[in-house]
Each structure stands twice: as C-alpha cells, then as structure tokens.
Amino acid sequence: MNRKMRMGMIGGGQGAFIGAVHRMAAALDGQIELVCGAFSSDAARSKASGEDLFLPAHRVYGSYEEMMEQERGLPEGERMDFVSIVTPNHVHFGAAKAALLKGFHVVCDKPLCLNMEEALELEALVEETGLLFALTHNYTGYPMVKQAKAMIQDGELGAIRKVVAEYPQGWLSTFLEGSDQKQAAWRTDPARSGAAGAMGDIGTHAENLLEYITGLRIDAVCADLTAFVPGRRLDDDGNVLLRFDNGAKGILFASQIAAGEENNLSIRVYGEKGGIEWRQMEPNTLTVRWLDGPTQMLRTGVGPLHPSAQAHARIPAGHPEGYLEAFANIYRNFAHCLRARLEGRSADPLYADFPSVSDGVRGMRFIEKVVESSREEQWVRV
C-alpha cells in the first residue's frame, strides 16, 4: 500500500494549542497525510483553518458528524483512514463514538472522556468494532521512557519498592480563566474538563507514565486536592499517596500553581537493586543509580540500549529529540499498525506500542478515586 495514511482532524482550529502539536507530530515522519478536518464547531473558523493548512475547501467540514458522513461516501482511495480528536475533553466521547460507529480508526487526545460511564462505553465499542484506538499520553513516546520500562520489565532494578511521579506547572497560579485565555477557560470548567482540574489534565499523564514504566497497578490512593486560586472551580493542585498491587508505595503530585515551573514532569522508581530517574524537560537522559557503584547516565542513542529505546530515536546521540518527536512516536506507531492492518500483516511488536483505550479507562478511574479520596479525606481502593 504505497501511500501515506490519511488523517481527518476534529478540533485544532485557529487559536488552538494541541491541534498544531498533533499535526506536527503526524507530519514529522512522512507516514501520515492530513486530508480533511472539522477544525471548529464554528463553520467559518473551520474553513479558515483548513485554508491555512492548504486543504481543498470540500474536505473542510463544519462538524465532525458532517465530516464522517461525507468521508464515508468518498472512494476508498481517497477517504480518510482515521480521525484525530484534539478538542477539549467534553467532545472526546461524542467524536470518538461517532468515528468508531462509522468505521474510522481513532487517535484521541487525553484524558479519554468525562467520566467512567463514557470511558467504559468507548472501551466496549473499540472491542466490538476491532478498530485501532490510540490515546495520546505522549510522554510514553520518549526513547528513555522506553528504556526505563524495558529495564524494569527485565528485572534490572529488582522488585519495585517506591515510585515518585511529579507534574508541576505554574501557569495557572493566577485567575487566568478570568481573562480571555482559552486554554485556561476550558481546563477549569467542570463541564468541559471533567471532575478534576490539574489532576485530570496532567495528573493522568503522571499516572499513565508510572504505570507504563513500572508495569504496576495502583491499588489505593489517599489524595488531597486543592483549588488555591480564589474563584477557581476545579483543583489546581493535588498530592496523592499511592499503594501498588505488589506492595510498593508511592507519591504522585500534580500542580498548576507551582509558580515558575514550566512542564516539569518527572518520575523516580526505586527497586531492590537500584533506581531510575527521568525528567521530561531533559528527556534524553535516564539516570540510573545502583546500590553500590557509579551512577549511570543513559542517553538517547548512546551505547547498548534496549531495542525499544533504539526504535524510538531518529537521529544520532547528542542531537536532542524533544516533545514533538516523542509525540510523533505515538503517531508513527499508530500509522505502522494501521498500515499493517490495511495490508493484512501483523505489526512489528516494537512499534505496536501506544496508549490504548484501556489506559484511558484506568485514567478515568484514577481521577474518580482521587476526587473521592480527597472529598472523604481517607484512603480509597482503586
């Protein structure tokens, strides 16, 4: 099948943030072509956005429903293969459901949707339809995250005892939603964001990352969520104690009032024999400490790394690969699996590696339980 995979985008019109990120990520490797879009619920804005993107006018739609209907009617050699949903959270469910019901594969931004009911319905639909579904917990796309996961899976650290996952940001330290700031407005609005604020927006990234890397499942949480900024309707900060299914303990915190912090996601995992530390803002280094012996700095592209770490780097060591490259790994892997599907082949396991609808379900449950624990001021089983 000598062609690129064809993507239709939902959301991501002029003024949006994450839509442009998805487009760059999809474009980077030359495996995906943007062929159509419903970029805004405002039809004029959608058209203008499509024009900016050099799309022909007839492939720019005023709603996702229209897009699916029209694309469905196009010849197979032309119509989109999958949708990419890059809207605020409250639209995810409807758009994803519609796509699955119309037979389109789906890439969806995180978190999956607004609540467990929606989440389970989507999970069931994916299972029924057998269509591909990727959730863009993009931080799992970094090569050194793959390396950490592989090392732990291979037992190099011994049994895991302690996990510390952090996601501090500072950009919501003031009442930004009181101004025109679009990103702040929907993220602090329960109707569009869901039951949690910072914990849903970025806490789920930390949760997904730690489960991905460690392979552990969270068994119980004790949370303390706070809305520090006067007038704010959702938590802008949350601290969580964690207990894992293997007896390990942990801490997870997410904050959007950690004044001066940029996007400082990090994770530390300690096992019986050693520990790893990874920081998203300097993502090409994985620090590995040992009980007795020199600390190692594993680096993207240097020396013997696990095949999964090698498979997710593009350029030689010392040429820093960043956020977009990690994001692009989700898209490249999705495109790889989609192509294999369309060609009737099995995907290479190295690339059949992107967050699934079930990761999304676990994320929704995490949000629900953290909110409950904070409200009840006690430990809650997950």
Among 129, 263, 266, 356, indicate the residue that binds a second copy (CB under 8 A): 263
Q: How far is CA 372 from CA 160, 161, 218, 287, 334, in A?
A: 27, 26, 15, 35, 34
Among 78, 291, 375, 381, indicate the residue that binds a second copy (CB under 8 A): 291
185 contacts a second copy (rule: CB under 8 A) = no
272 contacts a second copy (rule: CB under 8 A) = yes
Closest distance to a second copy from the beta carbon of 295 (Å): 4
Calpha distance 297→192 (Å, rounded) = 41
Window 41-60: residues binding a second copy (CB under 8 A) = 51, 53-54
Strand, helix or coil at 277? strand
For residue 29, how many other CB atoms are within 10 A of its CB?
16
Rg (CA), the chain: 21
Q: How far is CA 364 from CA 10, 97, 223, 283, in A?
A: 22, 17, 15, 26
Q: Closest by alpha carbon to 137, among 333, 313, 286, 338?
A: 333
The 53-92 contact track toward a second copy, x by CB under 8 A, reads: xx--------------------------------------
Closest distance to a second copy from the beta carbon of 301 (Å): 7
In the numeric block, the tokens 């409950």 are attached to 372
28 vs 120 by CB, closer to a second copy: 28
346 vs 378 by CB, closer to a second copy: 378
Closest distance to a second copy from the beta carbon of 76 (Å): 17
Among 182, 273, 375, 381, indicate the residue that binds a second copy (CB under 8 A): 273
173 contacts a second copy (rule: CB under 8 A) = yes
148 contacts a second copy (rule: CB under 8 A) = no
250 contacts a second copy (rule: CB under 8 A) = yes
Calpha distance 212→191 (Å, rounded) = 29
Closest distance to a second copy from the beta carbon of 118 (Å): 28
Among 257, 313, 367, 370, indicate the residue that binds a second copy (CB under 8 A): 257
How many residues lie near a second copy (CB under 8 A)?
A: 92
15 contacts a second copy (rule: CB under 8 A) = no
CB 213 within 8 A of CB 151: no
CB 300 within 8 A of CB 284: yes
Closest distance to a second copy from the beta carbon of 37 (Å): 12
Q: How far is CA 374 from CA 209, 223, 331, in A?
A: 22, 5, 35
Window 295-324: residues binding a second copy (CB under 8 A) = 295-299, 301-304, 314-324
Calpha distance 102→129 (Å, rounded) = 10
249 contacts a second copy (rule: CB under 8 A) = yes
174 contacts a second copy (rule: CB under 8 A) = yes
352 contacts a second copy (rule: CB under 8 A) = no
CB 21 within 8 A of CB 324: yes
